[in-house]
C-alpha cells in the first residue's frame, strides 16, 4: 500500500494534478470504449465494386435463344429464368420489371420476343411479335413511339442491354456457305474484327465435323478473347474436342481418321451439345 501511495504521489508531482492516476484510468477506459463502439471502417464502395464480377460481354441472340428468357421456371432445374425482350433488335434484361413482363404480368406476352412493332402500335396482337423487319416499315408516328420506348428502357428504367437479336431470316442464308480454314481464322471475335450489321459483337466461328458454328450467340465468355477456350476460336476443333485436348498439335492436325471409337462418340456428343444445348447457329460448311 505504501508503495502504491508513493507511486501515485510521484504521478501527481509529475503531472501537477492531484489524483492524476484516476484521470489516466478514465482516459484509457474512454479510448477502449470508443474503439469497441466504432470498429474499423468497411471497405469503400469503390473497393467493393472492384471485387464484383465483371459484367457479361454483349452477345448475339437467335429467336430461339431469346424465347428461353420468358421469366418462367426452368423445366430441368426449376430455377426462375430472367426476363428478356427485344425492342427493334436491342435485347434488354427487364427482370426488374418482372411484375409487368413476367408470368401473369400485363405485358407477359412480350417476354422472350421481339416486340418493337407491338409497342409502337400499342398492340397486344401476336401478329406484331417477332417482326423485326416490320420496325423499318412503321409510319412516322409509330417510329417516334418506338424510339420513345427504347429511350424509356435505356435511360428511365435503366434495363441492362444484353445484346442484339439476329432474325432467323438472316441466319438461314448462311447455312449452305462453304468456308475454308483461312476464312475460319478471320472470325475469332477479336477487337478490330468487323461486326456484321445488326450484331452486338463480332462472330466467333468454331468448326466441328463439317459444321461451322457461330459461338458469339451465347459463347463469348468461353470462346471470346478472355475465354478459357479462346484458342479454339476460328479453328476446326474436331480432333481437339474429341480427344479433350489443348495440345496445339491437335489444332494443326485436324484429321479424325485415326481416332478411337470412344473419341468419335465424344466428338458426336460435342456436336449435339453445340446444336441442341447451346443452340449455336450453323453458319456454314467446313471445306476439308
Could you report the per-residue pLDDT of 143-153, keeping only the tens digit for each? 999 999 999 99
Residue 66 near residue 112, CB atoms below 8 Å: yes
Contact (Cβ atoms closer than 8 angstroms) between residue 30 and residue 78: no
Residues 240-250 pLDDT 10s: 999 999 999 99
Which residues, including other chains, have CB under 8 Å from residue 221's CB and lie 6 or more apart? 56, 57, 227
DSSP 58-123: PEEE-HHHHHH-BSSB-TTT-PBPPBEEEETTEEEE-GGGHHHHSTTSTTGGGTTSB-HHHHHHT-
pLDDT tens, position by position, 226-274? 999 999 999 999 999 999 999 999 999 999 999 999 999 999 999 999 9
Closest CA to 283 of 190, 182, 193, 208: 208
Q: Measuring CA to CA, how many Å separate 150 from each of 162, 164, 169, 234, 235?
A: 14, 13, 23, 34, 38
Please list the alpha-helical segments (H only) found in 185-284.
220-223, 238-242, 249-252, 261-272
pTM: 0.81
The x, y and z cell numbers of residue 274, run together, are 453445340
**In this predicted structure, what is the pLDDT of residue 15?**
45
DSSP-derived pairing of the beta strands 84-87 and 90-93: antiparallel
Burial class (CB in 10 A: 0-12, 13-18, 19+), 171: middle
Q: What is the 3-state secondary structure (H, E, C) of 79-96?
A: CECCEEEEECCEEEECHH
C-alpha cell at 187: 472470325
* 27, pLDDT greater than 60: no
As a whole number, the mean pLDDT across the chain is 87
Confidence at 55, pLDDT banded by 50, 70, 90: confident
For the segment 83-109, what is each residue's pLDDT rounded down to a tens digit? 999 999 999 999 999 999 999 999 999
Beta carbons within 8 Å of 88's beta carbon, 6+ residues apart: 116, 132, 135, 146, 150
Mean of pLDDT values over 144-168 = 97
User: d(Cα 251, Cα 256) in Å, to the nearest integer?
Assistant: 11
Cα 243-245-250 angle, rounded to 5 deg: 85
The Cα–Cα gap between 213 and 215 comes to 6
Q: Is the dihedral of CA 270, 272, 277, 282 positive or negative?
A: positive
Amino acid at each position: 500500500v505504501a508503495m502504491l501511495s508513493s507511486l501515485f504521489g510521484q504521478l501527481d508531482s509529475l503531472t501537477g494534478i492531484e489524483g492524476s492516476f484516476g484521470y489516466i484510468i478514465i482516459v484509457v477506459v474512454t479510448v477502449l470504449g470508443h474503439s469497441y463502439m466504432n470498429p474499423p471502417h468497411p471497405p469503400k464502395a469503390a473497393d467493393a465494386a472492384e471485387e464484383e464480377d465483371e459484367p457479361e460481354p454483349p452477345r448475339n441472340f437467335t429467336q430461339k435463344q431469346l424465347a428461353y428468357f420468358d421469366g418462367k421456371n426452368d423445366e430441368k432445374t426449376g430455377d426462375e429464368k430472367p426476363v428478356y425482350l427485344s425492342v427493334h433488335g436491342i435485347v434488354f434484361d427487364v427482370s426488374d420489371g418482372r411484375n409487368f413482363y413476367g408470368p401473369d404480368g400485363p405485358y407477359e406476352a412480350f417476354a422472350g420476343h421481339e416486340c418493337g412493332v407491338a409497342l409502337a402500335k400499342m398492340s397486344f396482337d401476336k401478329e406484331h411479335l417477332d417482326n423485326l423487319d416490320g420496325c423499318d416499315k412503321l409510319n412516322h408516328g409509330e417510329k417516334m413511339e418506338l424510339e420513345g420506348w427504347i429511350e424509356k428502357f435505356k435511360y428511365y428504367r435503366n434495363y441492362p442491354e444484353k445484346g442484339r437479336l439476329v432474325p432467323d431470316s438472316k441466319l438461314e442464308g448462311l447455312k449452305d456457305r462453304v468456308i475454308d480454314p483461312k476464312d475460319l481464322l478471320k472470325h475469332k471475335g477479336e477487337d478490330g474484327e468487323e461486326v456484321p450489321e445488326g450484331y452486338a459483337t463480332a462472330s466467333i466461328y468454331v468448326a466441328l465435323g463439317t459444321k461451322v458454328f457461330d459461338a458469339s450467340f451465347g459463347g463469348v465468355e468461353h470462346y471470346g478473347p478472355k475465354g478459357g477456350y479462346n484458342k479454339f476460336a476460328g479453328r476446326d476443333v474436331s480432333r481437339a474436342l474429341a480427344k479433350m485436348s489443348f495440345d496445339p498439335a491437335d489444332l494443326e492436325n485436324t484429321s479424325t481418321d485415326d481416332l478411337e471409337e470412344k473419341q468419335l462418340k465424344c466428338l458426336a456428343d460435342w456436336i449435339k451439345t453445340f446444336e441442341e444445348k447451346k443452340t449455336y447457329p450453323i453458319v456454314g460448311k467446313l471445306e476439308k
